[in-house]
């Protein structure tokens, strides 16, 4: 079978949620947007609901509607993107809680779904989503009379504990929300790790659930093993792959494995990336193509049926450093062609 296997450890996600939950004295939700960062919200969210999570966060109403089918009635599903034009039916039918980001969204929500639950997102300094201070001042009394389910903001630099932006946003958020009768939320994974001053009433762990930084103590969640389709002997001076990007300087053994950029393995990974055959590190050769990758297995006496790209030797954050990106991008880029195998749960 020439299909790579992505193994997702639900017990590891559960353990990560428990650890992050234990760091605060407040309610702990779960961010499951982008299909639980590519790992399957239909499997992850119900498991976390059984564990005790009662608030889930998605990016769009379409994600929220899919999540409601997986969760059933009960848990609250908060939509970061708020109430966009055309969303009213989805919000109503899936019992979603849009996080209102503007006066326009507030008017749309009040007119199309009067009395339906909502939350409010404030811009505490990131300049991305949310009501700015003057907008919130104009809307606050009206919004609070309708009892928002949550008031939240988002930290821009929480993965850098000493960055001055963290204290700046904390101060702004407190000034915008002090004394209001509604639960407050400021922290995703990085904010949880900043300490109790940042926790308020609800935390929203995301990447930390899935084994990524800045949660250094996270249990590893994802493993990726790619089948070896063929091995060949390559002689000195012979090239490998598109564009003659690699030329052998000595005789070597090369394995061709069944994955590529169509599976979310970004082409820029090629120059610095290794795979593993047991305990032997094997360099990726030449270019990553759509469906295939070539790997130096000269040092491997008995080439295994699969090579490991993600696993005990290498995480999404290791791969991310090779191309100056973040583990989020590596994880959410993993494509749909993998055979997904779930462990635990």
Task: Give the pair of three-digit tokens for residue 56.
Answer: 């889930």
Determine which one of 196, 210, 242, 338 is catalytic. 242
307's tokens: 């090579």
Question: How many Cβ atoms are within 10 Å of 35's Cβ, its own excluded?
Answer: 18
CA-CA distance, 78 to 121, in Å (whole number)? 11
Tokens 């929500």 belong to 109
The answer to whether residue 147 is catalytic is no
Catalytic member of 33, 37, 261, 338: 33
What are the tokens at 27? 């309610």
Residues 192, 16: contact at Cβ < 8 Å?
no
| Nearest residue to 272 via CA among 281, 263, 264 | 281
Q: What is the residue whose two structure tokens read 């209001």?
A: 180
Contact 100, 119 (CB under 8 A): yes
Distances (CA, A) of 204 to 73, 179, 269, 323, 340: 20, 22, 30, 28, 26
Torsion sign, CA atoms 289, 290, 295, 301: negative
50 CB burial (10 A radius; 0-12, 13-18, 19+): exposed
* Residue numbers annotated as active site: 33, 242
């Amino acid at each position: 079978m020439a299909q790579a296997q992505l193994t997702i450890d639900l017990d590891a996600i559960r353990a990560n949620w428990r650890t992050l939950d234990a760091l605060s004295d407040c309610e702990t939700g779960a961010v499951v947007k982008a299909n639980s960062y590519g790992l399957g919200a239909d499997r992850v969210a119900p498991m976390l609901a059984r564990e005790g999570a009662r608030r889930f966060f998605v990016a769009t109403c379409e994600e929220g509607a899919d999540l409601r089918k997986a969760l059933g009635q009960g848990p609250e599903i908060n939509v970061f993107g708020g109430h966009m034009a055309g969303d009213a039916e989805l919000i109503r039918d899936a019992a979603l809680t849009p996080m209102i980001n503007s006066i326009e969204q507030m008017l749309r929500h009040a007119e199309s779904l009067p009395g339906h639950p909502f939350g409010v997102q404030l811009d505490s300094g990131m300049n991305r989503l949310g009501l700015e201070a003057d907008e919130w001042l104009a809307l606050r009394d009206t919004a609070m009379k309708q009892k928002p389910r949550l008031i939240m903001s988002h930290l821009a630099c929480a993965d850098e504990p000493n960055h001055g932006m963290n204290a700046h946003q904390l101060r702004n958020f407190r000034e915008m929300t002090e004394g209001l009768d509604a639960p407050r939320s400021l922290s995703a994974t990085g904010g949880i790790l900043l300490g109790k001053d940042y926790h308020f009433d609800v935390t929203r762990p995301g990447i930390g659930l899935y084994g990524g930084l800045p949660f250094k103590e996270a249990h590893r969640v994802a493993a990726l093993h790619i089948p070896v389709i063929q091995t060949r002997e390559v002689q000195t001076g012979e090239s490998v792959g598109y564009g003659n990007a690699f030329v052998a300087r000595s005789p070597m053994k090369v394995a061709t494995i069944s994955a590529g950029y169509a599976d979310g393995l970004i082409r820029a990974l090629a120059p610095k990336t290794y795979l593993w055959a047991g305990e032997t590190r094997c360099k990726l050769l030449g270019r990553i193509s759509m469906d295939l990758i070539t790997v130096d297995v000269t040092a491997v006496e008995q080439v295994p049926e699969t090579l490991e790209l993600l696993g005990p030797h290498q995480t999404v954050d290791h791969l991310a450093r090779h191309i100056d990106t973040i583990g989020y991008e590596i994880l959410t880029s993993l494509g749909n062609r993998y055979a997904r195998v779930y462990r635990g749960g």
